[in-house]
């Protein structure tokens, strides 16, 4: 069904059942309350007079795990990972407690996107520690707006690396607000 521009009523003209169904009932069925199927969802415009329901998702991993990899990789417990339907855009939130065993070496947490899209992990979308004392944990987080997704089901997965030493990561979270 599609939304239809409402008709203009004319005085002393019969308002037929077909007109009511097209211009009132069918249009009301295209509103957010009529389309809502999930609690805590939100709606985004996907075209003129067209909305779609989206659901924010998140995953937390509390375990403390580490890597010595100098290129982005998974930890022993992969993720966090979020699978959700998106349009061409999403806001991605990442946070973690991060440390490194060597003074002034960096540890990074970023994410990649697979599924309908293919966006590699990169330092521009990472949180990282650098210039800290050895084994000095810093808790941090940030948000990124991505406008280059392919609409469909996308999978967001956190990845990790270090500049040197061993990077430790704890209380990891990844959340996606799909648009």
Judge whether residue 166 has pLDDT over 90. Answer: yes
- Read off the pLDDT band of 144 (50, 70, 90): very high
Tell me the C-alpha to C-alpha distance, in Å, between residue 176 and each of 53, 79, 90, 152: 14, 13, 7, 14
What's the pLDDT tens digit per position in 91-141? Answer: 999 999 999 999 999 999 999 999 999 999 999 999 999 888 888 899 999
Name the DSSP class of 132.
P
Q: Quote the CA–CA distance of 117 and 149 in Å, as a whole number.
A: 6
> How much is the pLDDT for 104?
92
Q: Check: CB of residue 178 under 8 Å from CB of residue 106.
A: no
Evaluate whether the domain defined by 56-178 bears CATH number 1.20.910.10.
no
What's the pLDDT tens digit per position in 34-81? Answer: 889 989 999 999 888 889 999 999 999 999 999 999 999 999 999 999
Give phi and psi for 21, each to the nearest 5: -60, -40
Judge whether residue 1 has pLDDT over 80. Answer: no
Which positions ≥6 away from 98 have C-beta within 8 Å?
Answer: 107, 109, 127, 128, 129, 137, 138, 139, 140, 167, 168, 169
**Distance from chain centroid for Cα 164:** 30
- Read off the pLDDT band of 30 (50, 70, 90): confident
Of residues 6 and 116, more confidence is placed in: 116
> How much is the pLDDT for 164?
96
Q: Check: CB of residue 32 under 8 Å from CB of residue 38.
A: no
Residues of the chain with CATH 2.60.120.760: 56-178
């Amino acid at each position: 069904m599609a939304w239809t521009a409402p008709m203009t009523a004319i005085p002393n003209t019969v308002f037929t059942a077909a007109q009511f169904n097209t211009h009132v009932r069918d249009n009301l069925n295209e509103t957010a309350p009529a389309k809502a199927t999930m609690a805590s969802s939100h709606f985004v415009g996907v075209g003129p007079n067209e909305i779609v329901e989206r659901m924010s998702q998140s995953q937390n991993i509390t375990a403390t795990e580490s890597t010595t990899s100098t290129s982005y990789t998974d930890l022993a417990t992969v993720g966090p990972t979020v699978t959700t339907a998106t349009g061409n855009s999403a806001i991605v939130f990442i946070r973690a407690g991060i440390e490194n065993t060597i003074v002034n070496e960096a540890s990074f947490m970023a994410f990649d996107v697979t599924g309908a899209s293919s966006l590699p992990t990169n330092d521009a979308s990472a949180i990282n520690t650098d210039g800290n004392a050895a084994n000095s944990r810093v808790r941090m987080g940030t948000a990124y707006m991505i406008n280059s997704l392919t609409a469909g089901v996308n999978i967001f997965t956190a990845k990790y690396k270090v500049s040197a030493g061993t990077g430790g990561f704890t209380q990891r979270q990844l959340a996606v607000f799909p648009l």
